[in-house]
Structure 1
Amino acid sequence: MIISLKNPFIITLFRSLIVYIILFSCSSTYAYTELRVAIKKNVKTLHIGSSSPANVINSQGKQIGNLTPLNKFKIKLFNQNKISLKHWKLDYFLIEPQKKGAVWIDGHWYRGKILIIKERNSIIVINLVDLDEYLYSVVGGESYPSWPKEALKAQAVVARTYALFKTSTSNNIYYDLDTTTKTQIYRGMEAESVATHNAVRVTSGEVLTHDGKLILSVFHSSSGGHTESVKNVWNSSLPYLKGVSDYDHLSPVYSWSKTFSLLEINQLISGLGSIYSLVPEQVTSSGRIRTLKVLGNKGSKIISGVELRKILKLKSTIFKISVDKESFTIKGRGFGHGIGMSQWGSFYLAKQNVPYYRILSHYYQNSNLTLLK
């Protein structure tokens, strides 16, 4: 559509309208919902190609040429204010493969179209991709194709709900999602498989809702035996994100340990002199540390468990600390924030032949499985 090509602001307004219609009135056609996924940010150069002839379109929606298939073309900043592609120098390109072809970006293949935008002194590359085609990759990126079908179906529903929720609430003018764990892992076609295609197709249009609205369907790898209530981590009150018993004991990160020398701790947590103790202050009912006191010979301070996890690169905030004369040893459980669906818990339940809708209702209590029409 030409309206979606004129400028990023119009894109955002137009997409917000479409998402509103789809999600809240459910009167629109679900068959095609296009997502904006940032696959590269803050780059100066990249290479692009396509499996079929690809139209090159400018910011006015006009086709200005094409890329021949199975060739590599360099894209780079030109004088810091334009993007150079072949002989064109613009601040905006849309690359649209013909005949449902795929686009190649620096060694990775993607479905859909590619939007290339200059922002300040760098380039953003955005994949405009159909929701379910996006999910083919995300389900493979967030789980394993060899996992039981019911676990993959649960992941497909959760990922679909999350993608639509983020799209409907995004305030970014250029994109709604990226390719990292900050949103969802997306690696293009390389993460797809027959199993992920089937999981997405079988659950097509299914999302999780509460009071008729999409839920924030966050998930994590492994909780360490019990998921966490969202209010204990993010100070939010969401009735569908409560702590529940988990079944993640088969997870390779169900339990873990990490040891730091005194020198390492003092380098990582500075300003307190020689640190001699880390004392938990507030702990949730499931054992996650909300705050703890760091004691050193030059002072003390309170930090959050989330902050300490980031500083020490721990797998979770559910841990215990022991100290001897030469080191700190941290023994913990699980991997991730512990909120919502535990992926390894869903794996175990699926192995016990628990259907995906029951897996979802366990981890997202007070939610409903809803079919978008």
Structure 2
Amino acid sequence: MGDRRPQGRLGWLTALLVLSATAPAQAALQLRVAIEDGVSQVQVGTSSAAVVRDAAGRQVGQLKAMDGLVAGSQGGQVTLGGLKSGQLWVEPQAGGYVWIGDRWYRGRALLSPKGGGVLAVNYVDLDEYLYSVVGSEMPTNWPLEALKSQAVAARSYALHKRSKVGNAQYDLGDTTRWQVYKGITAETTSTQTAVVQTAGQVLTYNGAIIEAVFHSSSGGHTENVEDVWSSPLPYLRGVADYDQYAPVFQWQETFSAAQMRQRITGVGNILAMTPIALTPNGRVRQMKVVGDAGQRTLSGDELRSALGLRSSLFQVSPSGGAGSGAKSTVPATFVVQGRGFGHGLGMSQWGAYGLASQGYGYQQILGHYYQNAGLAQIQVTP
């Protein structure tokens, strides 16, 4: 890798970060993860016998093992079978799992009415949550050091989001808008090992847990955060990536003239697409789209969404339908050539795979992708 090799700048902070847990003290820090939010109804069950409690903690019912019920709302209260209350806790006994929607989860569930529907929140121990997130976000057969990098990044990201955007009802969601959480189906021995061997470790800057964003593949070089989003952050700096193993390192999509007209509206038949602002590494920030009925300026993210592209690191080449004299004809096709998958900020997962495959440890991997950050050990207090 020559002089582009990561230097492993990640150091240990001497101080402990002390977090206050809002969940009951019988467990380590619990996260509240919204699994279903405002849906008309959701199926709920447990793998073992379960106790159902109201908001005051009073037992109001029981569930038999593997006996699923439909939760909904009525008159501003949540319903579950024949039970009805302002809120209902579903608590599996004897180490059982809870079924919410279409998956099994560790921990317990809180059902609340919301917007004429029901909100189902999984209360789960932080590390048990991470068992699933690591396997939901990264292939479980990847090198352990890559999985450990993902565990630390995901733990940091979850706690940062919890402190910044968590609300009165939940801390996180379970989709790519947050980080993917698929319950116990995504767990394996390797993901559990990665979480256990990095227990309590988070990435910090100036004593605060960082927003440890990550993505699949940058296409060769990650970005400075201010070139993609908004304000600069000292730990989200562009660095050389090692994602050449990624199947999405390079990609190509071809669109017909009709497809482009349908996906990018308001300009008629598209004649030309010209970038007017790029990041230092070539991601599209703004693109001028010229058609036979007008023109628009779109952001790279808007184009990525409209065309269903893997990233905003792309170039567009029209083909066929060349101009004739002063009159331009509509190109027959548009070939989009791009690299990478995702926003290109923070840790590249395929880059972590590449570095781990070459013998680098998770501390070196994290130190490369999160410049100026340090590792700290959290201490949870009830």
Please confirm whether the aligned pair reaches a TM-score higher than 0.5, indicating the same fold: yes
Q: Does 1:316 align with 2:311?
A: yes
* Alignment partners' CA distance in 1, 2:374 and 2:26: 18
Aligned residue in 1 for 2:108: 113
Distance 1:193 1:171 in 2: 28
Q: Deviation above 3 Å: which 4+ runs of structure 1?
A: 22-31
Residue by residue over 1:292-327, the C-alpha shift from the partner in whole angstroms, topping out at 9 and shown as x without a partner, is 101112221211111110111100000111002201
1:343 is aligned to 349
- Equivalent residue number for residue 359 of structure 2: 353
What secondary structure does 1:307 align onto? helix
* Contact 2:143–2:353 (CA under 8 A) maintained in structure 1: yes
Which amino acid letter does the alignment assign opposite residue 216 of structure 1? E
Instruction: Tell whether the 8 Å contact from 1:222 to 1:342 is kept in structure 2 after alignment.
Output: yes
The count of residues paired between Structure 1 and Structure 2 equals 351
How many Å separate the matches in 1 of 2:26 and 2:95?
19
Q: What amino acid is aligned across from residue 46 of structure 2 in structure 1?
A: S
User: 1:274 corresponds to which residue?
Assistant: 269
- What aligned pairs does 1:148-297 form with structure 2 within 5 A after superposition? 148-297=143-292
Query: Residue type matched to 2:80 in 1?
Result: L
Give, in angstroms, the shift of residue 166 of structure 1.
Answer: 0.6
Query: In the TM superposition, what is the alpha-carbon distance from 1:144 to its structure 2 partner?
Result: 1.1
Written as runs of structure 1 = structure 2, the 5 A alignment for 1:6-155 is 24-25=17-18, 32-78=28-74, 81-155=76-150
Query: Against the structure 1 CA distance between its residues 274 and 26, is the aligned structure 2 distance closer, same or farther, given a 3 Å change threshold?
Result: closer
- C-alpha displacement of 1:107: 3.6
Residues of 1 paired with 2:284 and 2:91: CA distance?
49
Relative contact order (alpha carbons < 8 A, sep ≥ 6): 1 or 2 greater?
2
**Contact between 1:255 and 1:334, CA under 8 Å: does it hold in 2?**
yes
Match of 2:298 in 1: 303
What TM-score do you get using the length of structure 1 for normalisation?
A: 0.90
- SS of equivalent to 2:248: coil
Answer yes or no: is the 8 Å Cα contact 1:256–1:332 preserved in 2.
yes
**In the alignment, is the contact (CA less than 8 A) between 2:17 and 2:376 conserved in 1?**
no
Inter-partner Cα distance in structure 2 for 1:263 and 1:91: 52
1:30 and 1:205 in contact (8 A); partners too: no
The CA distance in 2 between the partners of 1:201 and 1:339, in whole Å, is 26
Name stretches of at least 5 consecutive residues in structure 2 with no aligned partner: 1-14, 322-331
1:330 maps to which residue?
A: 336
**Per-residue Cα deviation, 1:248-293 (whole angstroms, up to 9, x for no partner):** 0100100111111111111111111221011000111111011110
8 Å CA contact 1:272, 1:299 repeated in 2: yes
Per-residue CA deviations over 1:73-99 (Å, capped at 9, x if unaligned) read 222333x53322122122311111122
Distance 2:44 2:170 in 1: 20
Where 1:189 maps in the other structure, the secondary structure is helix
Q: Distance in 2 between matches of 1:102 and 1:31?
A: 16
Superposition RMSD in Å: 1.8
Any gaps of 5 or more consecutive residues in structure 1?
1-21
Output the CA distance in 2 between the equivalents of 1:294 and 1:107.
Answer: 42
Distance 1:246 1:196 in 2: 24
* Corresponding residue SS for 2:261: helix
- For residues 30 and 233 of structure 1, do their structure 2 counterparts lie closer, same or farther at Cα, with a shift above 3 Å needed? farther
Deviation at 1:25, TM superposition (A): 4.1
TM-score (norm 2): 0.88
Shift of 1:171: 4.3
Amino acid at match of 1:358: Q
Matches of 2:175 and 2:16 in 1, distance apart?
A: 25
**1:24, 1:104 → 2: CA distance?**
34
